[in-house]
């Protein structure tokens, strides 16, 4: 099956290149060209099969989310000349991810179930069940590790270690709460609950910018609002809109990223099924119909569109 697994462009004025788990990043003196590939990762491992249209889905969701929040926070994005490409300001990233949680889910629930009643210095009240709303949204930062896993950190430790300047961090907190409130409002309009998400920020010429992708199913957890209360009352699993279904398939096939485990190979049928789920995510989150691009010309199209935009 056709998919955009990786790129190997050489653009005029390019100064560097970085291949992440799922994105190819081309560096210029003051700009980045970010190409969202169809690679998919889970449990910190890039899976052997790429998922057609996954990159286009995530890039287009993120571009719309950045446009929808540009009145709150200046962001890095300047253009998306191709559905799989974002071009924007090259900022110096802060070495922290601003994770914000409105519900007791995922990592927060696992900490709570194990007896923890604080997370990153934030108190968690007694008597909560998995997926219950928190009394108010809390920020639970993680350090941005150059190698290995990101680590939880409290605001006090983050400031004591000088990871972020106190004045900058106060602004990051303000922006994070504002973005989460807007993201929650937009999700509610689509019949969804924004459970938790993360934001990353950078600085350029003294200005703080929102960077990276936001409000995508890969960076956020959503519940379906319809039936949420009833499922909580019955103690049932909540219906999620995220890439959790990929992790569940891997677990069912004996893979959780542990040493000695082999990544199961997806059949063409499973790959097509995951593509369809990502398209469903796009249409539910944006309210727009998804148009599948032509893989026969995608590399030529991307190169042409980027080269046309760069002189601007």
Other beta carbons within 10 angstroms of residue 161's beta carbon come to 11
Assign 57 to helix, strand or coil.
helix
Tell me which fold the domain 93-241 belongs to. D-amino Acid Aminotransferase; Chain A, domain 1 (3.30.470)
The pLDDT of residue 44: 83
Q: What is the pairing mode between strands 122-123 and 85-89?
A: unpaired
pLDDT at residue 248, rounded to an integer:
86
Contacts 24+ apart (CB under 8 A), 28-31: 28/90, 28/310, 29/90, 30/89, 30/90, 30/204, 31/78, 31/87, 31/88, 31/89, 31/90
Give the residue range(s) of CATH 3.30.200.20 domains in the chain. 16-91+245-309
Taking only the tens of pLDDT, the chain with its 312 residues reads: 599 999 999 999 999 999 999 999 999 999 999 999 999 998 889 999 999 999 999 999 999 999 999 999 999 999 999 999 999 999 999 999 999 999 999 899 999 999 999 999 999 999 999 999 999 999 999 997 655 567 999 999 999 999 999 999 999 999 999 999 999 999 999 999 999 999 999 999 999 999 999 999 889 999 999 999 999 999 999 998 888 789 889 989 999 888 899 999 999 999 999 999 899 889 999 999 999 989 999 999 999 999 999 987
Residues of the chain with CATH 3.30.470.20: 93-241
Q: How many Å apart are CA 264 and CA 47, to the nearest integer?
A: 9
For 117, phi then psi, to 5°, come to: -120, 10
pLDDT value, residue 156 = 97
Predicted local distance difference test score (pLDDT) of residue 147: 52
- The predicted model scores a pTM of 0.92
Distances 145 to 18, 88, 142, 171, 238 between C-alpha atoms, Å: 16, 23, 9, 22, 31
Helix (H) or strand (E) holding 270: helix 268-286
Residues constituting the chain:
312
16-91+245-309: what fold?
Answer: Phosphorylase Kinase; domain 1 (3.30.200)
């Amino acid at each position: 099956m056709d998919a955009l697994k990786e790129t190997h462009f050489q653009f005029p004025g390019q100064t560097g290149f970085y291949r992440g788990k799922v994105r190819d990043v081309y560096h210029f003196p003051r700009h980045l060209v970010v190409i969202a590939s169809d690679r998919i990762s889970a449990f910190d491992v890039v899976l052997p099969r790429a998922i057609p249209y996954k990159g286009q889905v995530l890039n287009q969701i993120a571009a719309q989310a950045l446009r929808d929040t540009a009145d709150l926070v200046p962001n890095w994005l300047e253009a998306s000349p191709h559905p799989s490409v974002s071009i924007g300001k090259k900022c110096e990233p802060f070495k922290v991810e601003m994770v914000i949680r409105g519900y007791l889910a995922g990592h927060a629930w696992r900490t709570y179930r194990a007896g923890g009643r604080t997370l990153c210095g934030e108190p968690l009240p007694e008597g909560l069940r998995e997926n219950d709303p928190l009394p108010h949204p809390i920020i639970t930062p993680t350090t941005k590790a150059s190698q290995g896993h990101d680590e939880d950190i409290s605001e006090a430790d983050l400031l004591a270690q000088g990871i972020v300047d106190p004045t900058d961090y106060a602004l990051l907190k303000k922006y994070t709460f504002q973005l989460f409130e807007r993201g929650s409002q937009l999700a509610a309009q689509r019949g969804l609950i924004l459970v938790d998400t993360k934001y990353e920020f950078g600085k350029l010429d003294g200005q703080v910018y929102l960077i990276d992708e936001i409000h995508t199913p890969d960076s956020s957890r959503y519940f379906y609002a319809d039936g949420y209360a009833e499922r909580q009352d019955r103690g049932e699993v909540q219906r999620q809109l995220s890439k959790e279904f990929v992790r569940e398939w891997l677990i069912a096939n004996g893979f959780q990223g542990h040493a000695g485990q082999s990544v199961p190979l997806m059949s063409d049928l499973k790959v097509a099924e995951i593509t369809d789920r990502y398209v469903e995510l796009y249409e539910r989150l944006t309210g727009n119909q998804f148009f599948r691009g032509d893989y026969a010309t995608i590399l030529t199209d991307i190169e042409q569109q980027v080269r046309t935009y760069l002189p601007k």
